Amino acid sequence: MAVIDLANPTRFLTLVNRVLPWLAALTIVLFAFGLTRAMSAPDDYQQGATVKIMFLHVPAAWLSMMGWGLMSVAALGTLVWRHPLADVAGKAAAPIGAAFTFICLVTGSLWGRPTWGTYWVWDARLTSVLVLFLLYLGVLALYWTAEDPGRGSRAAAVLTLVGAVNIPIIKFSVDWWNTLHQPASILRMGGSAIDPSILWPLLIMAVAFTLLFFALHLAAMRNEILRRRVRSMRIIQAQEVRA
């Protein structure tokens, strides 16, 4: 099957039905492995056992931004090529990205209280991630409330591309402004600042969460394609009743 064939929703559904069980199984295995390594990782010399929150918080933060990146590519597909599968991909990614951003905010807050002494500060990193969460809710509102799905999709695609400006702001906020949030310690010039005993479980958990994201995204895309089929069949049914 050529890659271009996947642009056909029926062929895409066939591929999803074939791939999804394997992807789900691999995700479960990686989570089991990652969580075992995370729970047996040593405590941080400063933060103690609270460093275990990092194994959730950091992957969720990465995926919150990756989700928006994926939606931005899909938005280009919707606005430039008007491909229906691009719109399906964008719509399916929005609630998943919002959920991971929510996990990032809540786990960050629960990590911040024992580490910084506060659940929340209005610093650039925390505020820009909160803005990302609100943007996700805005996109969802456009998708779910638009009377005409086509107009809703185009409006959501425009908001997605405008909101993409926020992604580099999140990434570089800790460098551009003086923040309570620590600067990058994994993806940085000069290599990771984290000890391998903690870094490896973190990377395994990050891969597990990424596979979970893609498994959920494929499943949600399949649901959205079926929902659109239901919608078109209901329109045909209504036209037949009227005729």
Partner 1 sequence: MNLGPHADFIVAAYAVTVFVVAAMVAWVVLDYSAQRRILGDLEERGVTRRSQHKDSR
Q: Which residues bind partner 1 (CB under 8 A)?
A: 39-40, 43, 48-50, 52-53, 56-57, 60, 95-96, 99, 102-103, 106-107, 110-111, 113-114, 212, 216, 219-220, 222-223, 226-227, 229-230, 232-234, 236-237, 240
Q: How far is the CB of 189 from partner 1 (least distance, A)?
A: 30
Residue 95 or 201: the one with the smaller Cβ distance to partner 1 is 95
| Nearest to partner 1 of 147, 240 (CB atom) | 240
Query: In Å, what is the CA distance from 96 to each residue of 137, 216, 219?
Result: 11, 7, 11
Letter for the amino acid at 208? Answer: A
Distance CA 239, CA 153 (A): 24
Nearest CB to partner 1, comparing residues 5 and 175: 5
In Å, what is the CA distance from 57 to each residue of 31, 54, 70, 152?
15, 5, 20, 32
In the bound complex, what is the minimum distance in angstroms from residue 231's beta carbon to partner 1? 10
Instruction: Determine the angle formed by the axes of helices 149-163 and 124-145, rounding to 10 degrees.
Output: 170
Find the shortest distance in angstroms from Cβ 100 to partner 1: 8
| Least distance between partner 1 and beta carbon 19 (Å) | 14
Nearer Cβ to partner 1 (104/156): 104
* Smallest separation, CB 53 to partner 1 (Å): 5
* Cα 154 from chain centre: 20
What does the alpha-carbon distance between residue 220 and residue 135 come to, in Å, rounded to a whole number? 20
Residue 88 or 178: the one with the smaller Cβ distance to partner 1 is 88
Question: Closest distance between partner 1 and the C-beta of residue 220, in Å?
Answer: 5
Q: CA torsion 71→74→80→82, rounded to 10°?
A: -130
How far, in whole angstroms, is CA 131 from its chain's centroid? 15
Of 33 and 102, CB closest to partner 1: 102
3-state helix/strand/coil string of 34-84: HHHHHHCCCCECCCEHHHHHHHHHHHHHHHHHHHHHHHHHHHHHHHCCCCH
